[in-house]
Amino acid sequence: MDQRQDSLEGLYRRHGPAVLAYLRARCRDRQAADDLLQDTFVQAADQGEGIAALRSPRAWLIAVARNLSLMLLRRRRPVELADDPPSRPQVAADPRLDQMRQA
């Protein structure tokens, strides 16, 4: 096992449960929280060794998890579609207009 994988695994062991608890409370959907946890640690893996050097890796992981959960919630938010456009108001015919047209 290389050092990068070892440090990522260590991060997961140390901070994964806290990040997962945060996501489950935020999403209230166990499957979505599990998926977001995975996405969070994929982003951590993309950061490489830099994340282990952070002063507070847990804070960084929670921030990533928060951003990912917000994106998910935005995608899930229903979009209200407008009904048919409002029809033109019915205007009563003015008898004077009919007289002018006939003249």
The model's pLDDT over 6-60, given as tens digits with 9 standing for 90+, comes to 588 989 999 999 999 999 999 889 999 999 999 999 999 998 777 767 788 999 9
Any idea what DSSP says for residue 65?
H
Give the integer Cα–Cα distance in Å for 12 and 20: 10
Domains annotated for the chain, with CATH where assigned, are: 3-76 (1.10.1740)
Q: What global pTM score does this model have?
A: 0.68
Match 């003249």 to its residue by tokens.
103
Predicted confidence (pLDDT) per residue in 15-30, tens digit: 999 999 999 999 889 9
CA 44 to chain centre: 18
